[in-house]
Every structure is written in C-alpha cells, then in structure tokens.
Amino acid sequence: MCVRTIINTLTDRRKKIFDKIMLRVVINHNTGCWEWQGPTSGKGRGGGYGRMSLDGQTVAVHIVMFTIFFGYIPGKKQIDHKCNNRICCNPDHLQMVTHKQNQKLRDERRKS
C-alpha cells in the first residue's frame, strides 16, 4: 500500500505523532530516505538512531514510524533499515525481522 494512502487513513493520535516526526525530517530525494534531524542515540556501537520524546519516554523514531504505519511489533522482532541509513524513518525503507535476520543483513551490507 502507498505511504500517502496510509497517511490519509491514520487515526488522529497517529497523525499527530506522524506530524511531530515530520517536522524534524528532511527528505533525501536521491535515496528516498526520510532523514531525522533531531537527537540521536549518540556515536559508537548501537548509536546513530533517531530519538524523540513521546509521552515522557525516549523512543527510537524509526520504531515509532513503523508502528504508526504497520502496527504492533512482537517482542522478539526488530526493525531493519533496508536502506542501511540509521536516521531514516521512511516506512518503505523499514522491515520487521528477527535478530538473526538483522545480523545477517548487517553482515551482508558490510561486505558490499
């Protein structure tokens, strides 16, 4: 389903959160990435992911965006960036995977 079609069907709460995210996003027209311009999880191992405050909690922007568009993420699943860009929150660039799949994809991307 097209992202624009999904945006039109979002509930009021999800639409407000989506709008809050998009205020800090710049669209990279070369890659199609929606690049988060706000705070990140810092540098180093596991760093570089967009972070935002939501209901008093600090959360990963890409996970919030995935949830807005696709719903619940089971506890044993992770969200992978198909574009390999940690600040990207374009739902078309995100996919739900297992930890093992995420590691395999990471390793494959390092080789190329």
Quick: pLDDT tens for 60-110. Answer: 999 999 999 999 999 999 999 999 999 999 999 999 999 999 999 999 988
The confidence score (pLDDT) of residue 4 equals 65
Residue 68, judged by CB atoms within 10 A of its CB (0-12, 13-18, 19+), counts as: buried
Q: CA 98 → CA 50, 58, 82, distances in Å?
A: 21, 23, 14
| 3-111: CATH topology | Homing Intron 3 (I-Ppo) Encoded Endonuclease; Chain A (3.90.75)
- Cα–Cα distance between 5 and 37 in angstroms, integer? 25
Look up tokens 């965006």; give the residue. Answer: 65
What is the pTM (predicted TM-score) of this model? 0.88
Look up tokens 């996970």; give the residue. Answer: 63
Question: Domain residue spans in the chain?
Answer: 3-111
The confidence score (pLDDT) of residue 38 equals 97
Look up tokens 């624009």; give the residue. Answer: 4
